[in-house]
Amino acid sequence: MAKEKVILAYSGGLDTTCIIPWLKENYNYDVVCVCIDVGQEEELSGLEERAKYCGADKLYILDVIDEFCDEYVAPCIQAHAVYENKYLIGTSMARPLIAKKLVEIARKENAVAICHGATGKGNDQIRFELGIKALAPDLKIIAAWRDPLWKLDSRESEIAYAEAHGIHLAFGSKDNSYSRDRNIWHISHEGLELEDPSLEPNYDHLLVLTTPPEKAPDRKTYITIDFEKGIPVAVNGEKMKLSDIIRTCNKLGGENGIGIVDIVENRVVGMKSRGVYETPGGTILYEAHQQLEELCLDRETTAMKIEVASKYASTIYEGKWFSPLREALQAFIESTQRYVTGTVKLALYKGNIIKAGTTSPYSMYNESIASFKTGDQYDHHDAAGFITLFGLSTKVRAMKLQEVAKKQGIKDWQNLL
């Protein structure tokens, strides 16, 4: 009788390498490893040999970079989705797509369970599992680090377990290894000196995508980005797909020290966590998009979109991509992007993004109205009536306080404010 199958979200790291023999030993499953390529680049080298060597029955490597950019990153650019004012949700936006693909392979392989190696302290366990529950509520979920059968509580114990099962692989030194997550949008870093918020990050040791700002060129680098309905479509006049736009902006932003964020964020599970994020291309695209919106959105829509963007970012951060709320928020965001079309020119200089000119056929900026000179479309005298009505409640309140103060014999009625 054939064994039941489990789908393992596989990265090739120490945790998921140990999980392969652990699943076979404790659950007697055939293990089908699935690696979702969202732009990890060299991290994917040698995965197939490693998975098979560790006992996997099969390995899928799925290239979903363009799907990730077009269906997950693009809406976040339109939204200007930023968590706690700093984090451009690079890990958060990738997890729902990974969960979706894990479910697709589980259906293809007739698997009964999906296993992941996220720890019980992090956000990823929530993101993976909410995604799986939303798309395949019938599948069993195995979270190795929360499983009572999982006895490996340290890097040393994992290495010893692997070697005891005939797995002899190099995983690097604990002394020089940060915990990292990488995709085409960003790379995150946790661990080592970052675990002490009083310490400055060792950027010479840590950075992967970005040059430290003080070591960036002593000259400005100019870049233009074209948008259609809030989505980037060209860089420096060259039309290209979004994934290539991100790659181009990553290169230019990285060279100029753009997009380094050091943040102590509030995880969903209740603890604070310190990390450094490198998002050079994403930071450029967010800034360019926001500058275009300054021209194209009216005051009330801008104010509401800021609130919606914050909620949109936190919803994704919490793993609720496949939720009615996220869909409803996105519907509002997409409606605001109808006329967010135009070209933004930026200067990149030592970690700074400097405005260098923005144009749009739908710009609401009207020089004849905004100019200090009197124009045909704006009469300064009109402001008097507007201020009278706009400030009517303020005036009525002051009059009432004056009246009360007079009755009570209070000389200085402002004391009632």
Classify domain 5-64+91-173 at the CATH class level: alpha beta
- pTM of the entire predicted model: 0.92
Give the Cα separation of 317 and 233 in Å (integer).
26
pLDDT of residue 315: 98
Helix and strand totals (H; E) in the chain: 15, 14
Q: How far is CA 384 from CA 259, 366, 368, 369, 378, in A?
A: 45, 21, 20, 17, 13
Question: Which residues make Cβ contacts (< 8 Å) with residue 181, sequence separation at least 6?
Answer: 90, 91, 187, 188
Give the Cα separation of 286 and 76 in Å (integer).
9
Question: Which residues make Cβ contacts (< 8 Å) with residue 339, sequence separation at least 6?
Answer: 229, 296, 360, 362
Give the Cα separation of 126 and 132 in Å (integer).
10
pLDDT of residue 397: 86
Domains 5-64+91-173 and 186-297+340-365 share a fold: no
Give the Cα separation of 95 and 123 in Å (integer).
10
> Helix (H, G, I), strand (E, B), or coil: what is residue 348?
strand
pLDDT of residue 417: 66
Superfamily of domain 186-297+340-365: Argininosuccinate synthetase, chain A, domain 2 (3.90.1260.10)
Residue of 204, 187, 353, 155 whose CA lies nearest to 275: 187
pLDDT of residue 404: 85
Three-state secondary structure of 285-306: HHHHHHHHHHHHCCHHHHHHHH
Active site residues: 15, 95, 124, 179
First to last CA, the chain: 82
Q: Where are the domains of the chain?
A: 5-64+91-173, 186-297+340-365, 379-416
Q: How far is CA 39 from CA 126, 225, 231, 282, 383, in A?
A: 22, 22, 20, 14, 54
Which alpha helices (DSSP H) does 29-154 contain, by range? 47-53, 65-68, 74-79, 90-109, 124-135
Give the Cα separation of 333 and 220 in Å (integer).
33
Give all strands (DSSP E) within 193-337, no chain letters.
221-228, 231-235, 238-239, 260-266, 272-278
Give the Cα separation of 399 and 164 in Å (integer).
84
Based on its alpha-carbon atoms, the radius of gyration of the chain, rounded to whole angstroms, reads: 27
Contact 37, 44 (CB under 8 A): yes
Question: Which residues make Cβ contacts (< 8 Å) with residue 408, sequence separation at least 6?
Answer: none
Residue of 148, 135, 128, 117 whose CA lies nearest to 17: 117
* Main-chain dihedrals φ then ψ at residue 100, nearest 5 degrees: -60, -45
pLDDT of residue 48: 86
One digit per residue, pLDDT tens: the chain, 417 residues? 679 999 999 998 889 999 999 999 999 999 999 999 999 987 788 888 889 899 999 999 999 999 999 999 999 999 999 999 999 999 999 999 999 999 999 999 999 999 999 999 999 999 999 999 999 999 999 999 999 999 998 888 999 999 999 988 776 655 557 889 999 999 999 999 999 999 999 999 999 999 999 999 999 999 999 999 999 999 999 999 999 999 999 999 999 999 999 999 999 999 999 999 999 999 999 999 999 999 999 999 999 999 999 999 999 999 999 999 999 999 999 999 999 999 999 999 999 999 999 999 999 997 666 555 555 666 777 888 888 888 889 888 888 888 888 888 887 877 766
Residue of 15, 404, 54, 87 whose CA lies nearest to 259: 87
